[in-house]
Structure 1
Amino acid sequence: MADDGMHHHRHHNPTNYGIVSAPHGPETGDDHASFKEGISEQQQFELFKPIMYPDDSYTAEGTYWADLPFMKMLSFNRAVDNAETKKELGQIWAMMKKDPLSPVGWYFRNAVLPGAGLGLEGYVLFSIGNLAALFDVVWKSCWKSYTTCNETWVNAVTYLEIVGIIIGQILVGYLGDKIGRRWGLIQDAVIMFLGLIMLTASWGTTLNGWVICYALSLMFYGVGVGGEYPMTATAAMENATGSGKVSTKEDRLHRGRKVTMAFLMQGWGQFFNQAVLILLLLIFHHGSGNPPYSEISAQWTYRVSFALPAVGTLWLVYYRWYKMPLASKALDAAKKKASVTGYDVKSLKLTMNHFGGRLIATAGAWYCNDVFFYGNKLFQSQFISVISPTPKGQTASIMTGWLWNLVNVGVELVGYYLASFLIDNKFVGRKNMQQLGFLMCFICFVVPAFHYHYYAEETAHIGAFQALYFLSSFFNQFGPNSTTFLVAAEVFPTPVRASAHGFSAAVGKLGALTAAVLYAYITTQQKFYVVPWFGLAGMLVTLLFLPDTTGLDLKEQERRFSYLQQGREEDYHGVAVNPHHLSLWERLRGAGKHYNPQLDRDSKMADMAAEWEAKQFERSEKSRTEEGLSPDDDAFEDEYTPEMHAVLKSRANTGLKPAGPPSPSNSSGISNEKVAPLKA
């Protein structure tokens, strides 16, 4: 930012967190003024302690949980988690006493609706591999021998699907940061609805013409699918952090759960697709799942399977248009603070300069994961043929593969839910889960790779091979498949969050494309030779470049970014640069060298005072009616008591001087000379 622009907005721009003298804001009353005159510095900090040192993150002495010795850290976090669990169970019990079905309604509002787009795309996206098994049997000359269809176009069905997804992830990620989350969400739903109509009605005068129409329709649908990734992740994450609260306990303790609960709807989409295909084939094949299958039954099965989610997607268009008016609120607030309209190019440059390592982590880990995940899904029939081989002389029943896949998806759902329950546990956390998942996927594939005959071809050991296959599915969902979706949005600032997530997801889909191309030319055993090393690479990328943001308030991360926007990196001393929340790469580059709890305490007061003064200035400029503000816009002021308003007014008017060099401090990092330790 240019100096003249910065100084021009110095007093009233909310992004200015400088510790400077500010002009007088609107009067808040003589009582407040007289209160301020008689309050000491220590009393002020006692007054603001619940906001500055929330008890879910700080001890009674004011020590941040990540600064505690290991055993004390475990004890503190266990106490916080136990108290939160007890509170939530009490709330659930109270809801059930009032209405036994109310928890179901809560889950629908907080998990099903936010993840509905991912559920629908999961249903359609993974149906392609399931339907390929049916097409192989019914239209052998087209899908298997390629005598009536062009082999390139048949293979393009898989490739173009992934290409469409990549286009959507990058394009909609960019548009989501430029025009807002709400319109990105609406656009995705519209594209997916039109794509489903095209898939349901796909036709051709020849079989090859139908394949071409099918492939292009799938590519168009894929654009909407790709957009769902950055839009769902950012919208689910910003729903709490964009509420206007200074600090949100819900965000710190349950942000990961909130996002992964939406993401796991993808697993339910896969489950319902497989279940629906089984039921439809039984219906249209006269109650039998055994071959031979007629073309009529195949046509009805696959077309009705696409028509059903079209109805749900049309409802999704309605819901996002009329029921999500504030989906872009956090982004709009960030742009307003930075005085930016359109795409925030400056924030993108800052992100590349300061968070480039994180981009390597999110994109690289996603790439490694998708080699596992999509390779497993697109070519699962080859793995299942090893687990459940067809006797010689008999025609394979696609029901066998479909039923085994239904079991596999059930195992994956267990992994999805366990990830959702543990991802906010500070002892487990995102980074540890991702590394563990990659490691277990590596082991589950490398063991049969070097003992393939023993596990995959000797009948006595097929059960062990099956167990390894299902374990790889479980740990993929419990680990990198869930965590990559979360951290790709979480570790980046709001102005470029959708772009960074979209780019990371797009690189991930290159991993899916790698699997699609590679698996077409190598044997099943060779797949086991190649794939494990992507798990090992993903674990190393995570170890080096991914920070652990478990328990970190995203408001604090945004506060750090505002300092970076002003070119004042050295003035930020808060927990966002605590070594625990930085990657190994960032620590080696010195990103955490300015961390200082004592200096940060004074900075927080100055920042709150500056933001309070800016809010008051806005209120004096325009009436609420003219601004068209919603009730949520009072959240900042509602967080404070009248006494707090008096302190903030005084500090905004007089300015808080820089704290200077740190003096000897106690275990909390708060100076003993300046202020006594905070009391419980």
Structure 2
Amino acid sequence: MALDVLDALDSARTQWYHITTIVIAGMGFFTDAYDLFCISTVSKLLGRLYYYDPSTGKPGKLPHTVNNAVVGVALVGTLTGQLVFGWLGDKLGRKKVYGVTLIIMVFCAICSGLSFGSSTQSVIGTLCFFRFWLGFGIGGDYPLSATIMSEYANKKTRGTFIAAVFAMQGVGIVFAGLVSLILSKIFLDSCEKVGTFQEEHLFSTQPQGDYLWRIVLMIGAVPALLTYYWRMKMPETGRYTAIIEGNAQQAAADMGRVLDLEIQAQHDKLSQFKAANSYPLLSKEFLRRHGVHLIGTTTTWFLLDIAFYSQNLTQKDIFPAMGLIKKDVEMNALREVFETSRAMFVIALLGTFPGYWFTVFFIEKMGRFMIQLIGFFMMSAFMLIIGVKYDYLKLHGSLFAVLYGLTFFFANFGPNSTTFVLPAELFPTRVRSTCHALSAAAGKAGAIVGAFGVQNYTLDGNQDKIRKAMIFMAFTNILGFFFTFCVVETKGRSLEEISGEDGGGNNTQGSTGVVGMTQITTGTHREYSM
């Protein structure tokens, strides 16, 4: 049992609307990554600006609790936003709430940079307030972007398209380092030109540093703002309109317009389709069909993000051990931002960024399952080597940097990408956004463990603690390797076939049945291929 509109989507050749959807959804993820990770480039600067005590003769540092709040509050907001907007995406429609997330992100990115107050506590408090709501908007982008892309894509390249949307996260991370690098260099050259750095302490750089971190945070609003109009122009996905709203005629018209086809509405078949798939999320039937899959998607994302966010948020503390940057007492505040941003940019460009696009190119050849297994295994292996041989690697900075970069590469050519793709494919249409949100929220719970646990443990730069943290993250990754066996391969199959919505039963055995093509009326019979 299949609907013409769904078969048309599954069999359509790659067209311009696929590309525009990737760009529109991808720019959201570009913004998400920039906003979440740019704080790593300026968090030490905030300590120098607002927690400097001249009597110590040392650079100021954020207290552990304050650092955790500044870095981690956006993750808490993201988790909350994922759950709220994921549920709303199934109840109100993907498109109706898609624009709201963008508005929140733009507004709060600007306000984060305008954080105000007459005291250190009020400035930091305001910053944390707006970064929570920034994270709330970012959270909504996860389930909505993944679900929209999966429901628009054809079955032959669906994984590639979803992975391409997520790969924009890699571009955002690179851009976060690049923007901080360029701006800090501009301020640095300007100050050195007028001789501002005759003294090395914070008070000589405070005016420039205060401008720097605010501009870095506010720039995150720009890419989101540029795509708002196009996000609002997108039609609702045909799957939501037909299967959840029950409007086969509107679904056929919307998808026929973007596919440049005439598609039959099939009201009678739609009634049969909905009747066969009426079980809710909290039901024994859902548990029987998809309970193991939901365990798999939530646990693997949770375990992956413990390591992934710990890596990204603590790299500023690991760079000195690699010899990539000097110790903070050896340079002024702007110089520290410049060197931290440069190291972050290099690691992201050579390790993080390629991993995302390897997934894009190979996901339909190797499959999601195999890429995730390999990624978890290789991450675990490299982190274990770093942890066990940490003292040796400190003396060989180049080798340390290569091994560290490889952990990022296999995170992204691995579970960081596939944990985003799989929840958008495994679950039925009426709960797809909610299930993706639950999986993503589990991931952000892992990120919070990384931000408030692992990062706090290594914040003082203690070498023994960093070594133990790497071994701990190797352990979480090997657990992710084993929990991957709770999910099934999804490549080459329609969403309805994967979820069992086509009447073929569930997919717990990873079957690869074939959905028969129904006729699409275009004046003459037409077949569709890539």
Is the TM value for this pair above 0.5? yes
* CA radius of gyration, larger in: 1
Aligned to 1:128: 39
Instruction: In structure 2, give the amino acid aligned to 1:637.
Output: T
1:399 is aligned, of 338, 342, 362, to 338
Aligned to 1:315: 226
User: Cα deviations across residues 178-204 of structure 1 (Å, max 9, x unaligned)?
Assistant: 000101211111111221232122111
1:346 is aligned, of 280, 284, 290, to 280
2:169 is aligned, of 252, 266, 285, to 266
1:431 is aligned, of 369, 372, 380, to 369
CA distance in 2, matches of 1:159, 1:345: 37
Change (3 A) 1:499 1:109: same
1:328 is aligned, of 223, 234, 237, to 237
More displaced stretch, 358-367 vs 126-135: 126-135
1:155-170 alignment runs, 5 A limit = 155-170=68-83
- C-alpha RMSD of the superposition: 3.5
- Is residue 2:507 matched to residue 1:561? no
CA shift for structure 1 position 139: 3.1
1:506 is aligned, of 441, 445, 453, to 441
Instruction: In structure 2, give the amino acid aligned to 1:118.
Output: F
More displaced stretch, 310-319 vs 118-127: 310-319
CA distance in 2, matches of 1:148, 1:454: 28
CA shift for structure 1 position 154: 4.2
CA shift for structure 1 position 123: 1.0
Aligned to 1:637: 521
User: Cα deviations across residues 189-237 of structure 1 (Å, max 9, x unaligned)?
Assistant: 1111221232122111101110000001000110000111001101111
1:358-369 alignment runs, 5 A limit = 358-369=293-304
Residue aligned with 1:423, SS: helix
CA distance in 2, matches of 1:340, 1:554: 15
Aligned to 1:45: none
1:80-91 alignment runs, 5 A limit = none
Residue aligned with 1:404, SS: helix
Instruction: In structure 1, give the amino acid aligned to 2:129.
Output: L
Aligned to 1:416: 356
Change (3 A) 1:484 1:146: same
Instruction: In structure 2, give the amino acid aligned to 1:159.
Output: G
Residue aligned with 1:346, SS: coil
1:15-30 alignment runs, 5 A limit = none
Aligned to 1:491: 426
Instruction: In structure 2, give the amino acid aligned to 1:398.
Output: V
CA shift for structure 1 position 504: 0.3
Aligned to 1:37: none
User: Cα deviations across residues 507-565 of structure 1 (Å, max 9, x unaligned)?
Assistant: 011111111122212521111221101110000000x201011122224335x2253xx
CA distance in 2, matches of 1:227, 1:491: 19
1:112 is aligned, of 8, 12, 23, to 23
CA shift for structure 1 position 252: 2.7
Instruction: In structure 2, give the amino acid aligned to 1:331.
Output: Y
Instruction: In structure 1, give the amino acid aligned to 2:483.
Output: V
Instruction: In structure 2, give the amino acid aligned to 1:442.
Output: S
Aligned to 2:112: 199
Contact map agreement 2:320 2:327 (CA 8 A) in 1: no
| Runs of 5+ consecutive residues of structure 2 not aligned to the other structure | 247-269, 459-464
CA distance in 2, matches of 1:386, 1:106: 47
Instruction: In structure 2, give the amino acid aligned to 1:210.
Output: V
CA shift for structure 1 position 394: 2.2
CA shift for structure 1 position 485: 0.5
CA distance in 2, matches of 1:462, 1:136: 27
Contact map agreement 2:84 2:140 (CA 8 A) in 1: yes
Aligned to 1:384: 319
CA distance in 2, matches of 1:454, 1:424: 39
CA shift for structure 1 position 124: 1.0
Instruction: In structure 2, give the amino acid aligned to 1:415.
Output: G
Instruction: In structure 2, give the amino acid aligned to 1:530.
Output: F
Change (3 A) 1:376 1:475: same
Aligned to 1:676: none
Residue aligned with 1:379, SS: helix
Contact map agreement 2:18 2:152 (CA 8 A) in 1: no
- Is residue 2:208 matched to residue 1:306? no
CA shift for structure 1 position 108: 6.5
Contact map agreement 2:300 2:480 (CA 8 A) in 1: yes
CA shift for structure 1 position 287: 4.0
Instruction: In structure 2, give the amino acid aligned to 1:395.
Output: M
CA distance in 1, matches of 2:2, 2:525: 23
| Runs of 5+ consecutive residues of structure 1 not aligned to the other structure | 1-13, 17-50, 57-86, 92-104, 241-250, 564-571, 583-594, 613-635, 645-680
Residue aligned with 1:437, SS: helix
Aligned to 1:210: 123
Change (3 A) 1:171 1:392: closer
Aligned to 1:652: none
1:531-546 alignment runs, 5 A limit = 531-542=473-484, 544-546=485-487
- What is the percentage of aligned positions where both structures have the same residue? 26
CA distance in 2, matches of 1:402, 1:119: 18
User: Cα deviations across residues 410-468 of structure 1 (Å, max 9, x unaligned)?
Assistant: 1211111111000011xx11100000000000000111222222222xx2x33222211
Contact map agreement 1:239 1:327 (CA 8 A) in 2: no
1:228-247 alignment runs, 5 A limit = 228-240=141-153
Aligned to 2:180: 277
CA distance in 1, matches of 2:136, 2:278: 23
CA shift for structure 1 position 112: 2.6
TM-score of the superposition, structure 1-length normalised?
A: 0.64
